[in-house]
């Protein structure tokens, strides 16, 4: 007797959602006795860690890392303004980076901003997840944990909140926290102030022949607005054997120019 067997196709399984990275805050609060190895840099990468300013003095023949006081840009301070211009040029030529002091951003605004960010990071993790980014969908702004972006492949021991502050057309306001109530207003005010600082620095650089691509009118070029970024991070206990160290830190504010 001949028998025929029908081969049934295996059932179709629903797609598996991408695994959400563990939040560093959750790991920090879980009672771990040691930081997970995927967050620990190799010993050879930790041996030379030091203070940026001390390292700058050591490797630049005792020349300190440039600290620019941009408060001297007023017209009635001509000599100081000229020194400021030369300092910016030197930073752009010799360093490529500078620390700006006297930037004209009110201390009261910085206090509001820090209070707003601190209040956000103090929310339960589940509440913060409402503002999580979606890298798979190309949404880079929002709340996330730092994944590996270094040659060793180690993760960063931090959670962060990333915004594009300018231009407004590219800002994802849906990922700006509604709590605390002052968060959006403080962040908008800060973004406007940072853009003014960037405009001042670019106006200085635009007077230099080596930087003709800048424009003193504002942070834009060729009809395209430059991007102003802000990223704040939450970090937990940093090293085994140390007391618990945690807090909110400003990772960076960055101005990114469009291509010429």
Tell me the pLDDT tens digit for each residue of 187-241.
Answer: 999 888 888 887 777 777 776 533 443 333 444 444 445 567 777 777 765 544 4
**pTM metric for this prediction:** 0.67
Predicted pLDDT at 182: 94
**3-class SS of residue 143:** strand
Does the pLDDT value for residue 183 go beyond 90?
A: yes
- Predicted pLDDT at 151: 67
Confidence of residue 111 (pLDDT cuts 50, 70, 90): very high
Q: Which of 127, 145, 153, 106 is nearest to 236 (CA)?
A: 145
Cβ pair 121, 183 in contact under 8 A: no
CA-wise closest residue to 90 among 197, 203, 205, 200? 205
The predicted structure's pLDDT at residue 43: 77
Joined tokens for residue 256: 């990114």
Q: How far apart are CA 110 and CA 98, in angstroms?
A: 20
159-166 vs 227-235, strand pairing mode:
antiparallel
Which residue do the tokens 């009118």 mark? 217
Q: Where are the domains of the chain?
A: 62-102, 106-260
CA distance 219 to 258: 10
Identify which of 199, 189, 184 has the alpha carbon closest to the alpha carbon of residue 257: 199
* Residue 157 · residue 150 · CB < 8 Å: no
How is residue 117 written in tokens?
A: 């960010």
Tens digit of pLDDT for each residue in 112-164? 999 999 899 999 999 999 999 988 888 889 998 876 566 667 788 888 888 88
| pLDDT on residue 51 | 59
Give the span between the Cα atoms of 137 and 140, in whole angstroms: 9
Quote the tokens at residue 221: 């070029």
d(CA 237, CA 40): 12
Among 80-84, 102-106, 243-247, 255-259, name the one with the lowest average pLDDT: 243-247
Q: Indicate the pLDDT class of residue 90, thresholds 50, 70 and 90.
A: confident
Per the omega criterion (within 30 degrees of 0), is the bond before 15 cis?
no
Task: Report the alpha-carbon distance of residue 91 to residue 97 in Å, rounded.
Answer: 6
Q: In 103-212, which ranges are E strands? A: 142-145, 159-166
pLDDT above 70 for 256: no
- Bigger pLDDT: 211 or 97? 97
Q: So what CATH class is 106-260?
A: mainly beta
CB 160 within 8 A of CB 145: yes
First to last CA, the chain: 80
């Amino acid at each position: 007797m001949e028998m025929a067997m029908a081969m049934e196709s295996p059932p179709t399984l629903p797609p598996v959602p991408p695994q959400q990275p563990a939040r560093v805050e959750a790991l920090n609060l879980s009672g771990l006795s040691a930081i997970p190895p995927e967050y620990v840099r190799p010993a050879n990468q930790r041996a030379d860690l030091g203070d940026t300013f001390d390292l700058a003095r050591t490797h630049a023949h005792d020349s300190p890392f440039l600290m620019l006081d941009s408060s001297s840009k007023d017209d009635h301070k001509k000599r100081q303004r000229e020194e400021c211009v030369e300092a910016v040029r030197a930073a752009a030529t010799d360093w490529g980076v500078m620390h700006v002091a006297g930037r004209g951003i009110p201390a009261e605004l910085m206090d509001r901003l820090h209070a707003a960010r601190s209040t956000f990071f103090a929310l339960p993790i589940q509440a913060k997840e409402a503002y999580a980014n979606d890298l798979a969908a190309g949404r880079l702004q929002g709340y996330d944990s730092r994944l590996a972006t270094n040659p060793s492949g180690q993760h960063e021991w931090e959670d962060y909140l990333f915004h594009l502050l300018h231009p407004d057309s590219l800002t994802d306001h849906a990922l700006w926290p509604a709590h605390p109530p002052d968060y959006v207003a403080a962040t908008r005010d800060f973004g406007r102030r940072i853009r003014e600082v960037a405009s001042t620095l670019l106006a200085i650089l635009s007077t230099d022949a080596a930087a003709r691509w800048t424009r003193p009118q504002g942070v834009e070029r060729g009809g395209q607005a430059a991007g102003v970024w802000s990223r704040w991070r939450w970090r937990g206990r940093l090293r085994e054997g140390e007391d618990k160290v945690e807090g909110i830190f400003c990772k960076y504010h960055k101005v990114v120019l469009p291509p010429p």
